[in-house]
Homo-oligomer: A and B are copies of this chain.
């Protein structure tokens, strides 16, 4: 906990952290303002000094998630180095790592029902994250002969959908489903087959 300023010192951050912890433990439903306040060692009313209300708190958690997500993806992509293909695969792995390491953020972003357009900060952060994926797809698709090249937006949507599906179905301990394979392997092999289908990886290996 950083320096104590007024009374708490950093209540805003403490509340978001508590929110993330609760969302991770109990899902976006289980989260309550009262409990977040309790976790931060503060009266529920204090929350309203920093947030407009419950939804606003979740939205802030999601926003921070998108910022972090974008950073992680961007770092993994590494400007397409050493090769477009390697950078692309690293980005896919980073997606899964984020979902694993920041489940609270991931849930707030994708399962809380918060609209991305709730406020412009949120929308901007989300756009940036999606932009990284699209740029990675765009760069990689330059290696496909133009006449059989799918639109980059479609390419990137496929990868995003596959990644998200793997997270939701197999990476969470979710609804009694036990994963037949480690999620990482599932995603990596899936992306591999997909890229082979695009002719980006030689058919024999």
Contacts and interface: CB of A to CB of B under 8 A. Distances in A.
Interface of A: 27-29, 110-111, 113-118, 123, 148, 150, 153-154, 157-158, 160-166, 168-170, 175-177, 179-181, 186, 189-190, 192-199, 203-205
A113 B161 contact: no
Q: Which of A29, A165, A179 has the most CB of B within 10 A?
A: A165
Instruction: Tell me the dominant secondary structure on chain A's binding face.
Output: helix
A158 B186 contact: yes
Given A180-B153, A197-B194, A165 B175 contact: no
A27 B113 CA distance: 9
Nearest to A116: B176
Given A157-B181, A195-B197, A196-B198, 18 more contacts: A27-B113, A29-B29, A110-B168, A110-B175, A117-B176, A148-B204, A154-B180, A157-B170, A157-B180, A158-B190, A160-B169, A161-B170, A161-B190, A162-B190, A165-B168, A168-B168, A192-B197, A194-B197
A117 B176 CA distance: 6
A180 B123 CA distance: 17
26 contacts: A28-B29, A29-B29, A110-B175, A113-B175, A115-B175, A115-B176, A116-B177, A118-B176, A148-B205, A150-B189, A150-B193, A153-B181, A157-B169, A158-B193, A161-B169, A161-B190, A163-B165, A164-B164, A165-B166, A192-B197, A194-B197, A195-B197, A196-B197, A197-B197, A197-B198, A199-B203
Contacts of A148: 204-205
Given A176-B117, A198-B193, A186 B157 contact: yes
Nearest to A123: B176
B186 A197 contact: no
Contacts of A166: 161, 165
Contact of A154 (B162, B164, B177, B186): B186
